[in-house]
């Protein structure tokens, strides 16, 4: 059977929006204000920037409940839904958490010219420098027990030169400013605001933000929360779809463009849509020659390292793997798409069965993202053996779906070449003579056969790491995986919310093969030459991470508490948070 699908991320159909698109006159006026203020922003003292961040924290905190309520309504969720916690963590807490880190980074810049790195800086045997960036502050050791994160630098950066690669736009600001167009993503409520903050405070550019039609309902709330930037003329928000986006991308006064979304949208911006755009790309003749950066999609792997797992390990890791899919109904670029296992591991069937058991107990979700049903049907048509779980009579919902035992030698399988961006993932198994051989083959498979370079996760039992040969193989895997974020016993997607880690593709993609993108965001320590971020955690975290599906009922309460904590951090607030994390 031939399936008509494309490699890479989806080409999303146009979404409708309750907000009218901005007229060209309105967009021109917005750009005009930004042009007038772009040089003033470059000259804005750090002390004033800190004052602005303080206003952003206070103003966003005040409307956070309304922000969450609007997102829940749009995604078809009730306030007491087991999935409601997602909107508190990725929608509000992540933004406030990043603002807190940005504030501290600016204080450090004011004092010493660059942000302070909170952990040790080490140089690997091959000369590569890595800096521990999380825990970022003492509170994080309590809120995220056992979690550690590093940013690995690109070759050529040394421990001695590392500070000079931070906050470069503060160390040597340009004499004139720039206007950046930020094209927001529609799936996660914090993406647009975080991208705006990155362009303003790290890249030192004023911003025209075009809200995505999928979540344009957040535009008025964002205008309210970010009024301190809007009032000063450093930010403008406009609305519309592809027509408005095309007009803005080709506008003479837009200096740079940043998009979070699909490689197909990136290509349409740079080369133009349709057959003419494809021809320009093939001829290497871009339509838009200004700098365009993107944080795009991925076929995200989870590499399962065989080991002496017991029943409790199986239960916990099955929940862990399932949670990586069902978060946000599967509409995440960091969602698990391919589980990689050793074909001869005796526990492989049991782990898969446990994953099935978890999925079968979870309520299904509304297919709220445009084109989801067609993408889902493409995958199921290619794999009629796909297993569906969590059935629902609601025609708006899609089932959780597992396609197991996909042939690893079929390089063109849709599960390996195409990001599903819906409630579906796959599993494949590799032949290998030993665990060490398997790890090496899994890394090669992930690097060479799966599309994209955004994020990858490894699961490895601590007793496996007691074997020096396996420990060395895992260390090599972390170094050799060409992904922008890697999680070791922790979903790599959490790098999106930690703030001090980078979020974006592994460096090296040119515009003619953009894959997962060509820049990073978040990155509160403002590294300009980062290669990847690596997040480490215990094999079984205690307490259980709140984003696990098993914690869904208490997650909303917990992340509401964490959001309130970021409004005004205090040790006095921690006991109640810890109690909720442990007892629910």
CA 578 to CA 48: how far, in whole Å? 35
Which of the two residues, 418 and 583, has the higher pLDDT score?
Answer: 418
CA 337 to CA 324: how far, in whole Å? 9
User: Which residue's entry shows tokens 């140089």?
Assistant: 123
Burial label, 507 (beta-carbon count in 10 A; 0-12, 13-18, 19+): middle
Radius of gyration of the chain (CA): 23
Mean pLDDT score, 201-211? 98
DSSP helix/strand/coil, 248: helix
Could you tell me the two tokens for 57?
Answer: 């924290």
pLDDT at 6: 67
CA 574 to CA 11: how far, in whole Å? 44
CA distances to 122, 123, 129, 262 from 157, rounded to whole Å, are 12, 10, 7, 31
Mean pLDDT score, 290-310? 97
pTM for the model stands at: 0.96
CA dihedral 522, 527, 528, 534 (to 10 degrees): -70
Query: Cβ(85)–Cβ(556) under 8 Å?
Result: yes
Query: Cβ(516)–Cβ(296) under 8 Å?
Result: yes
Q: pLDDT tens digit string along 459-490?
A: 999 999 999 999 999 999 999 999 999 999 99
DSSP helix/strand/coil, 291: strand
Which of the two residues, 393 and 467, has the higher pLDDT score?
Answer: 467
pLDDT at 2: 35
Q: pLDDT tens digit string along 56-105?
A: 999 999 999 999 999 999 999 999 898 999 999 999 999 999 999 999 99
DSSP string, 394-454: -TTEE-EEEEEEE-TT-TT-HHHHB---SSEEEEEEE--SSHHHHHHHHHHHHHHTSS--S
Is residue 258 pLDDT above 70, yes or no?
yes
Query: Cβ(280)–Cβ(508) under 8 Å?
Result: no
Mean pLDDT score, 140-154? 97
pLDDT at 395: 85
Taking all residues of the chain, what is their mean pLDDT, rounded to a whole number?
A: 96
Q: pLDDT tens digit string along 338-366?
A: 999 999 999 999 999 999 999 999 999 99
pLDDT at 207: 98
Domain ranges for the chain: 24-115+166-255, 300-484, 549-583
Mean pLDDT score, 489-500? 97
Helix-helix angle 94-112:552-567, to 10 degrees: 30
pLDDT at 388: 96
CA dihedral 228, 232, 233, 238 (to 10 degrees): 20
Alpha helices in 135-226 (DSSP H): 138-143, 168-171, 191-197, 219-225
Is residue 173 pLDDT above 80, yes or no?
yes
CA dihedral 257, 261, 265, 271 (to 10 degrees): 40
Mean pLDDT score, 558-581? 95
pLDDT at 4: 41
CA 227 to CA 103: how far, in whole Å? 18
CA 401 to CA 412: how far, in whole Å? 20
Give domain 24-115+166-255's CATH number out of 3.40.30.10, 3.40.605.10, 1.20.58.1000, 3.40.640.10: 3.40.605.10
State the CATH architecture for 300-484. Answer: 3-Layer(aba) Sandwich (3.40)
pLDDT at 12: 87
Mean pLDDT score, 295-320? 97
Q: Where are the beta strands (DSSP E) in 262-371?
A: 291-295, 300-304, 336-342, 365-366
DSSP helix/strand/coil, 549: helix
CA 352 to CA 426: how far, in whole Å? 11
Q: pLDDT tens digit string along 3-41?
A: 345 689 888 887 878 799 999 999 999 999 999 999 999
Q: pLDDT tens digit string along 417-460?
A: 999 999 999 999 999 999 999 999 999 999 999 999 999 999 99
Q: pLDDT tens digit string along 91-146?
A: 999 999 999 999 999 999 999 999 999 999 999 999 999 999 999 999 999 999 99
pLDDT at 434: 98
pLDDT at 3: 37
CA 447 to CA 416: how far, in whole Å? 11
Is residue 288 pLDDT above 70, yes or no?
yes
């Amino acid at each position: 059977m031939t399936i008509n699908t494309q490699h890479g991320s989806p080409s999303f159909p146009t979404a409708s929006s309750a907000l009218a698109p901005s007229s060209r006159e309105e967009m021109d006026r917005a750009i005009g204000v930004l042009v007038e203020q772009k040089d003033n922003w470059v000259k804005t003292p750090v002390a004033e920037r800190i004052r602005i961040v303080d206003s952003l924290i206070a103003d966003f905190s005040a409307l956070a409940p309304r922000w969450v309520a609007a997102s829940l309504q749009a995604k078809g969720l009730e306030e007491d839904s087991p999935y409601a916690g997602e909107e508190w963590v990725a929608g509000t807490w992540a933004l406030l958490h990043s603002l807190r880190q940005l504030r501290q980074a600016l204080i450090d810049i004011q004092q010493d010219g660059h942000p302070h790195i909170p952990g040790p800086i080490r140089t690997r045997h091959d000369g590569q420098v890595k800096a521990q960036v999380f825990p970022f502050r003492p509170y994080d050791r309590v809120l995220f027990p056992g979690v550690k994160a590093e940013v690995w630098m690109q070759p050529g950066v040394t421990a001695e030169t590392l500070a000079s690669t931070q906050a470069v736009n503060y160390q040597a600001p340009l004499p004139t400013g720039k206007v950046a167009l930020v094209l927001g993503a529609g799936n996660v409520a914090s993406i647009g605001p975080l991208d705006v903050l990155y362009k303003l405070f790290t890249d030192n550019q004023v911003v025209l933000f075009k809200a995505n039609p999928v979540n344009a309902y957040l535009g008025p709330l964002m205008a309210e929360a970010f009024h301190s930037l809007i009032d000063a003329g450093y930010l403008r928000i406009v609305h519309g779809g592809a027509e408005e986006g095309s007009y803005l991308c080709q506008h003479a006064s837009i200096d740079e463009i940043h998009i979070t979304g699909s490689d197909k949208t990136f290509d349409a911006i740079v080369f133009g849509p349709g057959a003419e755009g494809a021809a320009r790309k093939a001829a290497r003749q871009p339509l838009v020659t200004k700098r365009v950066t993107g944080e795009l999609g991925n076929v995200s792997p989870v590499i399962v390292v065989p080991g002496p797992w017991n029943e409790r390990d199986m239960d916990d890791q099955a929940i862990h793997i399932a949670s990586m899919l069902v978060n946000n109904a599967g509409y995440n670029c960091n969602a698990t798409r391919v589980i990689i296992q050793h074909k001869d591991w005796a526990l492989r069937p049991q782990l898969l069965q446990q994953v099935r058991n978890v999925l079968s107990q979870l309520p299904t979700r509304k297919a709220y993202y445009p084109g989801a049903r067609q993408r889902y049907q493409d995958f199921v048509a290619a794999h009629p053996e796909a297993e569906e779980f969590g059935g629902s009579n609601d025609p708006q919902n899609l089932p959780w779906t597992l396609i197991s035992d996909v042939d690893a030698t079929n390089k063109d399988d849709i599960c390996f070449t195409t990001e599903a961006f819906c409630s579906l993932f796959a599993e494949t198994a590799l032949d290998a003579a030993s665990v060490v051989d398997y790890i090496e083959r899994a890394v090669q498979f992930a690097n060479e056969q799966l599309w994209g370079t955004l994020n990858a996760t490894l699961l490895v039992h601590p007793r496996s790491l007691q074997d020096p040969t396996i420990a060395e193989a895992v260390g090599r895997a972390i170094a050799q995986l060409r992904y922008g974020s890697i999680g070791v016993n922790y979903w790599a997607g959490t790098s999106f919310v930690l703030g001090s880690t980078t979020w974006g593709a592994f460096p090296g993609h040119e515009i003619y093969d953009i894959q997962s993108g060509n820049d990073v965001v978040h990155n509160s320590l403002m590294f300009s030459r980062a290669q990847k971020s690596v997040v480490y955690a215990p094999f079984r975290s205690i307490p259980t991470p709140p984003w696990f599906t098993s914690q869904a009922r208490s997650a909303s309460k917990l992340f509401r508490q964490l959001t309130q904590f970021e409004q005004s951090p205090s040790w006095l607030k921690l006991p109640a948070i810890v109690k909720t994390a442990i007892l629910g």
